Structure 1
Amino acid sequence: MYATLAELRNRLAALGDDDTDEALTELLEDASMVIDDEVGQPLTLEETTVTLDGTGAESLILPRWPVTAVAAVVEVDLDGTERPLEHGVDYTWSRSGVLTRLRRCWPCHDQAVRVTLTAGYAEEDLARRVRRFCLRLAIAGRRNPAGADSEDIGDTRVRWHTPGMELTTGEKRVLARYATRP
């Protein structure tokens, strides 16, 4: 989650709302997933293993970034034979998520390379605006769960400019800097 339960509780208290920790945690998780869906990757720091198709080129683009560590790289032959590679001898990697093969190219077949890497941002490194977006989304999910923009009661119509749990165009523009690469 990109914001804490305490941060959400403080914001809702200012609005006169109160709810259970379980319900608020669910709102924060949902809001974090909206952000993850927009950028195409989780932003939090985590270790993951990915299998990549070989390109026959010297470089492969890792799907997650920023990369903070590469624990293992294994080349997988067409017959399933695995060859662990050594950092600095067989490959190098960059924080921007480029895996470079040294002295040769990566194989050119499907599921040719398996990489165990750590990528994402430490909680303290996530921009304050990501936490703010997460809190706004969670509050919108609490106060306007259906995402309604108007309500008719008899002859009276009320129109809001507060979306439900969806990102605004400006928020999407800011989050684009965290987006995964194709």
Structure 2
Amino acid sequence: MASPWATPEELRKHLRLPAIDEAAAAAAIAAAETIIRGELRQDIDAVTDDTALLVGNGRRLLNLPQMPVTAVASVHQDGVLLTHGTDYRWNRFGILTRLGEPLWRGRLAGCWPLDADVTVVYSHGYPVVPAAVKQVCLQLAGRAWVRTSTAVATESLGDRSIGYDKDRTGEELTAYELRLLEPYARGPESR
């Protein structure tokens, strides 16, 4: 498990509080991290030797699910080890490019074969959480901390049912925060 993106002390300072319940603050930070990871569809934290199971698409490019990519240890296509620089290349945006002549022995060698199993062992993420991501995490955790009591959107009496509104709990990212996070999101396929 990666280190938290922020500490309870940083949340206390962000909220300008004299004291803070450290366990509750850590939980609010963890919840904010989960929301941000879900929005970005990225782990953000540095991960070494992660395995991605991909399927060939009949084209030259395949996208790895996480970025930035910091290293590719191996690529196997249908169990056959491929060679970097000869069979494929990669970039930090998580794009694997299949190399080779367009036609080789009557087939497309420069493409990932349609429905081929492609297994990639690679490293990705940021060794230090980017400042913008950390700031959004603190803002989200801070809103959730402040607005917990005003979050009830619906309430029932029979069998006691309470519904919460994410916007009123502070768990919804604002348009400004989404713009701050945009560079860290999994982009379009052509990225």
Q: TM-score, normalised by structure 2?
A: 0.75
Q: Residues 40 and 180 of structure 1 are in contact (CA less than 8 Å); yes or no, is this contact kept in structure 2?
A: yes
1:143 aligns with 2:140: no
Alpha-carbon distance in structure 2 between the residues aligned to 1:70 and 1:174: 28
In structure 2, the CA distance between the partners of 1:146 and 1:69, relative to structure 1 (3 Å rule), is farther
Gaps of 5+ in 1: 77-81, 151-160
CA-atom RMSD, angstroms?
2.4
Identity of aligned residues (%): 38
Aligned to 1:180: 186
Spell out, residue by residue over 1:57-115, the C-alpha distance to the aligned partner (whole angstroms, 9 max, x if none): 22212121111111111112xxxxx11222123211111111112212212115x1011
Cα distance in structure 2, aligned partners of 1:34 and 1:93:
29
For 1:74 and 1:146, locate their aligned partners in 2 and report how far apart those are by CA, in whole Å: 52
Q: Which amino acid is the alignment partner of residue 66 of structure 1?
A: P
Matches within 5 A, 1:36-115: 36-47=37-48, 48-76=50-78, 82-103=79-100, 104=109, 105-109=111-115, 112-115=117-120
Q: How many residues align?
A: 162
* Unpaired stretches in structure 2, ≥5 consecutive residues: 101-108, 154-166
Partners of 1:147 and 1:173 in 2: CA distance: 26
Structure 1 runs of 4+ with >4 Å offset: none
1:131 aligns with 2:134: yes
CA contact (8 A) 2:12 2:18 kept: no
TM-score scaled by structure 1?
0.78
